[in-house]
A and B are shown apart, each in its own frame.
Chain A
């Protein structure tokens, strides 16, 4: 077990004629106990849930019909981000042009720079980011987009449904093979 061969270190030589009284060893073999201990440790390591889930807060605006209660956003400070299929992201600044000329496509790794540039170029209190997920967006994309708001410290943002012309523009872009490079 824990010793190999014969332990002959103990016990000194006694002179001839001295009766040998056999000393009983009080050492206990602990190997089995260690085995058991580590077996249990491995069990608990595997079953334990070390990473406790975290929660991100989300506050919804109240649905209201009265225009005076609705939040107003300056067109110059608005950035609309649309989440499409396969983690494609589309965005435009201000109001969508009729010909769709300010409609751009990007992906999640590039959108941070877009937000940061917008943040730099606009006044802090005018900046509003509108997140519009399409029907094909995944839950993960929505959470990632909301996360970008935290990462870039955007104070005002909203989760809004997509409108018909925007959806059409996205469809057209995807058909043309654009989006998410």
Chain B
């Protein structure tokens, strides 16, 4: 009697399904991914319960860094050019048309108006270095240059949709924020948005209860 033969089983695994899943996930992530837009400085935004997504078009964004500097940026290139052009004409900054055009390439503005000319002539890599910029001066009401920027922004966006936003680091101090608000008020821009990270509504709060009520009502219908 011979030994019983043990059937040798193949250990080859069919990888096709595995590959399918892998590439399905891959295509999902490729399509949903959105690369972070370049930021003037990295700020950590505070949390709020607001669940509305921030608009990405037609925005004028004021960034407050933790050390109290103020940066200004626009989502569209032509807006940057128009705003700088308006500032140039109104305040006689003596920028050449060529320099005004260069403003479209700047990611943000973070210099006093007197240094705007030299800022626009910087090479592109130097321009994007937010931390080395002095920021737009708005220390007090007498030398609040952000007022001029917002005034020009108001002119440029006149009759069109403008999403004025403030993105502040959670450690930025209140006086800086107040000066920004004051600059908005001077141009009658009384409506703006604060960019935050979403956090859930606390339990047993009135807002959470009415949200639950709303959800219930929606389900009953």
B207 touches A40 (CB 8 A): no
Contacts of B45 in A (CB 8 A): 53
Which residues of A (1-46) have their CB < 8 Å from a CB of B? Answer: 2-10, 27, 29-31, 33-34, 37-38, 40-41, 44-45
A53 touches B195 (CB 8 A): yes
Contacting residue for B25 out of A2, A41, A159, CB 8 A: A41
Which residues of A (64-99) have their CB < 8 Å from a CB of B? Answer: 83
Q: Assign chain A's interface to a size class.
A: 35 or more
B13 touches A3 (CB 8 A): yes
Residue of B nearest to A47 (CB): B33
Which residues of B (39-57) have their CB < 8 Å from a CB of A? Answer: 45-55
Secondary structure dominating the interface of A = mixed
Residue of A nearest to B43 (CB): A139
| Chain B nearest Cβ from A90, distance in angstroms | 14
B30 touches A34 (CB 8 A): no
Contacts of B22 in A (CB 8 A): 33-34, 37-38, 41
Is B26 located at the chain interface by the 8 A CB criterion?
Answer: yes
**B88-96, B142-150, B169-177: which lies at the interface:** B169-177
Contacts of A5 in B (CB 8 A): 11
Q: Assign chain B's interface to a size class.
A: 35 or more
Contacting residue for B205 out of A44, A112, A139, CB 8 A: A112
Distance between Cα atoms of A51 and B197 in the complex (Å)? 8
Contacts of A134 in B (CB 8 A): 174
A150 touches B48 (CB 8 A): yes
Contacting residue for B206 out of A45, A147, A152, CB 8 A: A152
| Chain B nearest Cβ from A21, distance in angstroms | 20
A139 touches B168 (CB 8 A): yes
| Chain B nearest Cβ from A111, distance in angstroms | 12
Contacts of B181 in A (CB 8 A): 60, 159
Contacting residue for A55 out of B15, B55, B176, CB 8 A: B55
A57 touches B15 (CB 8 A): no
15 residue pairs A–B, Cβ–Cβ below 8 Å = A7-B12, A30-B16, A33-B19, A37-B19, A40-B26, A48-B29, A53-B196, A55-B55, A58-B193, A59-B191, A134-B174, A137-B173, A139-B173, A150-B48, A151-B208
